[in-house]
Chains A and B, each alone.
Chain A
Amino acid sequence: MENFGEYVRELRKQNRLTLKEAEKRGVASNAYLSQLERGRRKRPHPDILKRMADVYNVPLNELMIAAGYLAAETQKKSLAERIEDGYHQVENDPRVAHGTRRKGVKLSLEQKRYIVEMYENLTGRKIL
């Protein structure tokens, strides 16, 4: 991503947050975010990106790629891999509990996809 600052500013605006609101929600200080958005700061630490992902409702992976921590190739994962990753994320989110009633022992890919989509719908976070 050539201009990471512009990208995060766009994300913040999409979420209708001011710099102060983003600060209040724990992303980083208002001054830091302002500098970052104007390109006066180097890429943020992954911890900040994680908080940003939560508040700006964007997959962490996407932010990591945009900030240059991950290679863009990871984005080219197949749908099946993304579903598996997404399902893993749902399973490991301590704020979410889920259960199913199903025939068969293992969840199929389609069933996992449905769970991930329900998670996205409930939490407002985009995974797939």
Chain B
Amino acid sequence: MSVATQPEISNRLKSFCEACASRNHQSPLSEEQLAEAFVKFFSIPPLFDVSGLDKFFATADIEMCRTTLPVGLLGLNMSYEGKRKIRLSDRRGQKRFQLHTALHEIRELIENDFRVLGFSTTESSEDELEFCADEFAFHAVLCSQAGLFRHFFANARAIKSDWRRWAILSLIGLGMVAAGLFAFIGAFYPHVTVTGSKIRFER
């Protein structure tokens, strides 16, 4: 990730970054807090695929495109004088991770704006930002879905029949586990290499 000083940052993403910087300038934000603030600020709907971010891309004026990227590249972002672009890989095997990749790229764009504002939340090393961006993607997916599960729980509690209530609650629990796994695997997929029967995790 190259560090840049851009002359101008515009739109809602700038407002979000400014709000984060002004509220938290004394204590750095964790990725979880940042993801929560991001979901709340942009009213992100429960995320299950990248189309859930369409409205965000429009309001933040980010040009997002799904395309065939070179092998091994899941996504990339680039910004220049207020113009921002995100490209996501459409390749088989990587398509299902587009949501997490999009969130990863968004986190890097946020960091660019933070740096312009003098509120960098990560060290300048590329590796650290990469990992923070993955962590942000993981939390953003979970935060976006939290409201939905709370709503399901509230409705399930109102069911009078015991067995039905427990059955629904169990289903919701399973759904939460599945959502958690989806968020975790998607966020950390690039660090996992499967070679034959071995699975290696590299940071």
Contacts and interface: CB of A to CB of B under 8 A. Distances in A.
Interface of A: 90-91, 94-104, 108, 110-111, 113-115, 118-119, 122-123
B85 A102 contact: no
B193 A119 contact: no
Contacts, number: 88
Given A100-B75, A118-B87, A95 B70 contact: no
Given A108-B71, A118-B85, A100 B76 contact: yes
B72 interface: yes
Given A94-B4, A118-B85, A122-B85, A99 B76 contact: yes
Interface of B: 1-7, 69-81, 83, 85, 87, 101, 104-105, 108, 112, 129-130, 133, 190, 193
A123 B80 contact: yes
Given A103-B72, A123-B80, A95 B4 contact: yes
12 contacts: A94-B5, A96-B4, A96-B79, A97-B78, A97-B80, A100-B76, A102-B73, A108-B72, A110-B71, A111-B72, A115-B78, A122-B80
Given A101-B105, A111-B70, A115-B78, 15 more contacts: A91-B2, A95-B6, A95-B80, A99-B1, A99-B77, A100-B73, A101-B73, A101-B75, A101-B101, A102-B73, A103-B72, A113-B70, A114-B76, A118-B78, A123-B80
Contacts of B80: 95-97, 119, 122-123
